[in-house]
Amino acid sequence: MRNKLFTLGKIATLAIAIATTLVACKDKEEPQAPPTPPTPPSGEATFNVLYRVGHDRAADWSLQPFSEAGIKVGEISFQGKGYNLGSTRTQQVFSSHNGSVVYVYDQGTGELSKLKPAVGSTEVYTKIGKIDTKAALDNGTGNIRLIDDNTAILYRLISKVTTETTNGEVDTTVTATAVIAKVDLQNLTVNAAQTKKFNLPVATTSKTILYVTGLDIPVVANGKLYFGVAKNEIFRSTGKKTAGDKLQGKNEACSWVLDYPSLSNDNFITNAAVKGATARPNSFYGLSYGVYNNSLYHTTIDGKVLKITNGSYDTSYEIDLKTAAGFPETIAVMGFFYVNNGIAYANYSLVTDKGKVVGYDNAASGVLRIDLNAKTAVKLNVPAKLWLNFYQAAKVHNGKLYMALCPTDTKGNIYIFDPTKTDANGFEKGAALEALGGALYLGVF
């Protein structure tokens, strides 16, 4: 299938296809043996930049690959350039460690595509395969996360709230089911027969029901698979939320843990001392985990950094990022990227007095440098008017973190953060980023 140049304003209807039990089909429109594009010399990395036009439900998406030299100088533009991913609400993109293979998951259709980038080529990506994953997720779509260069995890949360009236009495019941499948990235296959389903616990009292509404950003550490968890509480008599906190900060921090690779022996671990969900409900974007010194570190939505050691929360460890960075305002953490030696970076957004993350028109995102050992956080001098609520990924390369940061009202840059530098200017600027109104740079892979 020929690559399409990226065009603005294209709105398409999501197409839902029926999957087979063993999902391993190739694109029939492609040649049987597509040409292999050139790859960077051994030891070099490809930097794949993700671009989106539109911050509402439907959007156009495009990708471009760059060499390490190309990501540092000149200007990056998607006007008449790039590989079109198609119009939909969400494209989830990730790459192999060195960026030489890119995977795109269309959350609307459930199609997973495998692309080979060609730096400096007019045909910037060659599609070398695609599969329909819906059969592996109980004939639905969900989210996906790279575990390593060979495996990705597909996951879906199905929550069902049922309210019935009997003899004038209203009662509500809830079920929550998690569906998990593993993707063989080398062969681009998903075996639907190996899908695992879990009935997640529902806590019911005479008045309320507490249940899982979000699972996000799984990571493997020390033979365990961890998911961030968000929960919701509703009244049995109405089926409506007990609190309108959009940041899910009411309930205790929680993670779902399974043995890996068997996907068995699941259990929930909590930190009752800290409020705030560890995942954004039903969202790919946002929080992540970092593994350091055999411990797992992660953020809550309302700006705490927590630590898990030997499969349990270390309740003696906590960083309040608002306090550590000296914010007068409430902040929400929208992304967490671990680099090395105890240093991580986090995207944050300001929060309105109604508990909602600031919207695109009032863009107020930024980046923090976090020292997990010293429990400190520094607000970095990145541009104002950033909106990073949809930001997907940052790339760690040669001990530094690469991010595409572009304000909503002017040009931006690739930022290269150096974790050895402790001050607010601990970065260098790379290539300039050109953007039109409403366009977003969503990651470097």
For residues 386 and 392, give the distance between their C-alpha atoms in angstroms, rounded to a whole number. Answer: 14
Nearest Cα neighbor of 143 from 118, 110, 186, 184 is 110
65 by DSSP, 3-state: which?
Answer: strand
Site of tokens 């105890």: 342
Report whether 297 contacts 338 (CB < 8 A).
yes
Q: What is the pLDDT of residue 169?
A: 83
Q: What is the pLDDT of residue 36?
A: 35
Q: What is the pLDDT of residue 244?
A: 62
Which of 230-266 are b and which e, b meaning 16 or more Cβ less than 10 Å from the residue's Cβ?
A: bbbbbebeebeeeeebbbbbbbbbbbbbbebeebeeb
Residue 210 to residues 15, 246, 259, Cα–Cα distance (Å): 34, 16, 25
Q: What are phi and psi of 383, to 5 degrees?
A: -60, 155
For residues 380 and 373, give the distance between their C-alpha atoms in angstroms, rounded to a whole number. Answer: 19
pLDDT in tens, 386-414: 999 889 989 999 999 999 999 998 999 99
Instruction: Identify the bridge partners of residue 215 per DSSP, sorted by sequence position.
Output: 229
Report whether 105 contacts 92 (CB < 8 A).
yes
Residue 411 to residues 46, 53, 366, 439, Cα–Cα distance (Å): 23, 15, 16, 11
Bond into 261 cis (ω within 30): yes
Q: Is 309 exposed, middle or buried (0-12, 13-18, 19+ CB in 10 A)?
A: middle
For residues 14 and 109, give the distance between their C-alpha atoms in angstroms, rounded to a whole number. Answer: 6
Global confidence as pTM: 0.87
Q: What is the pLDDT of residue 443?
A: 93
Where the chain has pLDDT below 50, the residues are 1-42, 283-287
Report whether 227 contacts 279 (CB < 8 A).
yes
Q: What is the pLDDT of residue 281?
A: 62
Who contacts 419 (Cβ-Cβ below 8 Å, separation ≥6)? 339, 340, 341, 343, 369, 399, 400, 401, 426
351 by DSSP, 3-state: which?
Answer: strand
Report whether 388 contacts 347 (CB < 8 A).
yes
Based on its alpha-carbon atoms, the radius of gyration of the chain, rounded to whole angstroms, reads 22
Write the DSSP string, 356-391.
-B--GGG--EEEEEEETTTTEEEE--PPSSB--TT-
For residues 232 and 296, give the distance between their C-alpha atoms in angstroms, rounded to a whole number. Answer: 24
